[in-house]
Amino acid sequence: MRPLLRLLTLLAALLAAPAWAQDDPFAGLAGSSFDDIRRGIETLATAAPPQAAATITALQQGALLAGPDAALYIKTQTGFLDARTGQPATPDVDALKSVRVNNSVRRAAEAAMGGLTLFAPDPTIRRSAAEAVLKSRDAAALPALARAIAAEQDPAIRTIMQQARAAATLASPDTSEPDRLAAVETLRARGDIESRAMLASLTNQSPAVIAAAATAVTAIDRMLQLWGLVQGIFYGLSLGSVLLLAAAGLAITFGVMGVINMAHGEMVMLGAYTTFVVQEVIRAHAPFLFEASLFIAVPLAFLVAGIVGIVIERGMLRFLYGRPLETLLATWGLSLVMQQTVRSIFGASNREVGTPAWMSGATQWGGITITYNRLVIIVFAFLVLAALMAALRYTALGLRMRAVTQNRRMAAAMGIRTPWVDALTFGLGSGVALSQIDNVSPNLGQGYIIDSFMVVVFGGVGNLWGTVVSALTLGIVNKFLEPLAGAVLGKITVLVLLILFIQRKPRGMFPIKGRAVEA
Q: What is the pLDDT of residue 186?
A: 92
Helix, strand, coil shares of the chain, percent, nearest 5, are 75, 5, 20
Last residue of a domain, one of 143, 171, 205: 205
180 lies in a domain?
yes
The strands making up 88-89's β-sheet, listed across from edge to edge, are 88-89, 80-82, 72-75, 64-66, 97-98
E-assigned strand segments in 346-443: 362-365, 368-371
Domain termination residue (choose one: 205, 235, 252):
205
My answer on whether 397 and 480 are in the same domain is yes
Long-range contact set of residues 487-495: C-beta below 8 Å, sequence gap at least 24: 494/454, 495/454
Residues 142 and 257 in one domain: no
Query: Residue 364 pairs with which residues in a beta bridge?
Result: 369
Q: What is the DSSP letter of 64?
A: E
Structural domain includes residue 22: no
CB 290 within 8 A of CB 356: yes
Q: Amino acid identity of 196?
A: R
Distance (Å, whole) CA 98 – CA 30: 9
Helices (H), 24-122: 34-47, 52-60, 103-116
> Do 294 and 236 share a structural domain?
yes
Question: Do 300 and 191 belong together in one domain?
Answer: no
The boundaries of the domain holding residue 486 are: 227-356+377-518
| Structural contact between residues 455 and 471, judged by C-beta atoms closer than 8 angstroms | yes
Q: Are 497 and 435 in the same domain?
A: yes
Domain shared by 390 and 472, yes or no = yes
Same domain, 416 and 278: yes
pLDDT at 214: 92
Q: Residue 499: count other Cβ atoms within 10 Å of its Cβ.
A: 11
For the chain, the residue count is: 519
Does residue 296 sit within a domain? yes
Give the sign of the dihedral formed by CA 482, CA 486, CA 490, CA 493: negative
Radius of gyration of the chain (CA): 34
Confirm whether 3 is domain-assigned: no
Please indicate, yes or no, whether residues 266 and 152 belong to a single structural domain of this protein: no
User: Pairing mode, if any, of strands 97-98 and 362-365?
Assistant: unpaired
Same-domain status, 433 and 478: yes
Q: Please state the pTM of the whole predicted model.
A: 0.70
CB 498 within 8 A of CB 508: no
The DSSP 8-state label assigned to residue 137 in this structure reads T
Question: Is residue 503 one of the residues assigned to a domain?
Answer: yes
DSSP structural state of residue 354: P
Residue 22 and residue 241: Cα distance in Å, rounded? 65
239 and 165 in a common domain:
no
Residue 318 DSSP symbol: G
Tens digit of pLDDT at every position of the chain (519 positions): 444 444 444 444 434 334 334 468 888 888 888 888 888 888 887 777 878 888 888 888 888 988 888 889 999 888 899 888 889 988 888 888 888 889 888 888 877 776 677 877 888 888 888 888 888 887 877 888 888 888 888 998 999 999 999 998 988 888 888 999 999 999 999 888 888 988 998 888 888 999 999 999 999 999 989 988 999 899 889 888 888 888 887 877 776 667 778 888 888 888 888 888 998 999 889 888 888 888 888 888 888 888 888 888 888 888 887 787 888 889 899 999 999 999 999 888 888 888 888 888 888 887 788 888 888 888 888 888 888 888 888 888 888 877 877 777 888 888 888 778 878 878 877 766 554 555 788 888 887 788 888 888 888 776 778 888 888 888 888 888 877 777 778 778 888 888 888 888 877 777 766 544 444
Would you say 66 and 96 are in contact if contact means Cβ atoms under 8 Å apart? yes
Residues 63, 72 contacting (CB under 8 angstroms):
no
Q: Are residues 257 and 406 in the same domain?
A: yes
Q: What is the structure's pLDDT at 483?
A: 75
* pLDDT confidence of residue 14: 38
Q: Give the C-alpha separation, 135 to 110, whole Å.
A: 9
Beta-bridge mates of residue 72: 66
Q: Domain total for the chain?
A: 2
CATH number at residue 234: 1.10.3470
Contact call for residues 490 and 482 (beta carbons, < 8 A):
yes
> Are the C-beta atoms of 113 and 54 separated by less than 8 Å?
no
Is 53 within a domain?
no
Contacts with 109 (C-beta within 8 Å, 6 or more apart), sequence order: 41, 56, 59, 60, 101
Cβ within 8 Å of residue 167, ≥6 positions away: 133, 134, 137, 183, 187, 198
In a domain, 104, yes or no: no
Q: Is residue 28 part of a domain?
A: no
Q: Read off the DSSP letter of residue 443.
A: T
Q: Judge if 337 and 382 occupy the same domain.
A: yes
Nearest to 267 by CA among 446, 457, 390: 446
Last residue of a domain, one of 205, 236, 255: 205
Q: What's the rounded Cα separation, in Å, for the pair 483 and 508?
A: 27
